[in-house]
């Protein structure tokens, strides 16, 4: 008799899922779509190597590089964002948009490489001149 009660509840209990365009609320700690800021990116490609889902692709060229992201492959883990030293990547907390064809949400940017920042020259001590050498023993000399 228990099975008949279960069938009755399932048949007449109403819908348990949401219809297509409606989506549930996202949780508080949800990490969403990756956003790319080409102005901050230095082209190091660390994000590509940290992405375990292979959602980020990076192709370098002479003077430019191409960065692309496919949210359809992304697991929203945030490893790429955590590894970006230039803070060019971020994640939005909104639910991803609905898409119907593969690759519809894919984004690609072609960015010019930035010249490397100049390194400061190492401080080199100047060799002591003849007057400084003669004065040195007298200042710390022994009697």
In whole angstroms, what is the distance from residue 22 CA to residue 78 CA?
Answer: 26
Let me know if residue 22 belongs to a domain.
no
Let me know if residue 97 belongs to a domain.
yes
Q: In the chain, how many domains are there?
A: 1
pLDDT of residue 25: 75
pLDDT of residue 46: 93
Average pLDDT estimate for 26-32: 79
Let me know if residue 21 belongs to a domain.
no
In whole angstroms, what is the distance from residue 44 CA to residue 21 CA?
Answer: 39
Q: How does pLDDT run across 83-133, given as a tens digit for each residue?
A: 999 999 999 887 777 778 888 889 999 988 877 767 777 777 666 666 655
Q: Measuring CA to CA, which residue among 64, 2, 79 is closest to residue 34? A: 79
DSSP string, 1-29: -HHHHHHHHHHHS---S--TT--PPPPTT
43 and 111 Cβ atoms separated by less than 8 Å: yes
Q: What is the mean pLDDT of the chain?
A: 81
């Amino acid at each position: 008799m228990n099975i008949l009660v279960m069938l009755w509840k399932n048949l007449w209990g109403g819908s348990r899922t949401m219809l297509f365009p409606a989506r549930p609320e996202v949780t508080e700690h949800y990490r969403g779509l990756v956003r790319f800021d080409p102005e901050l990116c230095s082209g190091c490609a660390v994000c590509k190597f940290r992405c375990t889902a292979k959602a980020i692709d990076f192709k370098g060229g002479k003077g430019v590089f191409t960065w692309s992201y496919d949210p359809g492959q992304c697991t929203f883990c945030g490893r790429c964002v955590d590894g970006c030293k230039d803070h060019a990547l971020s994640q939005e907390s909104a639910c991803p948009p609905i898409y119907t064809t593969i690759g519809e949400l894919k984004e690609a940017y072609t960015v010019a490489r930035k010249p490397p920042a100049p390194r400061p020259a190492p401080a080199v001590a100047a060799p002591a001149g003849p007057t400084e050498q003669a004065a040195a023993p007298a200042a710390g000399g022994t009697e």
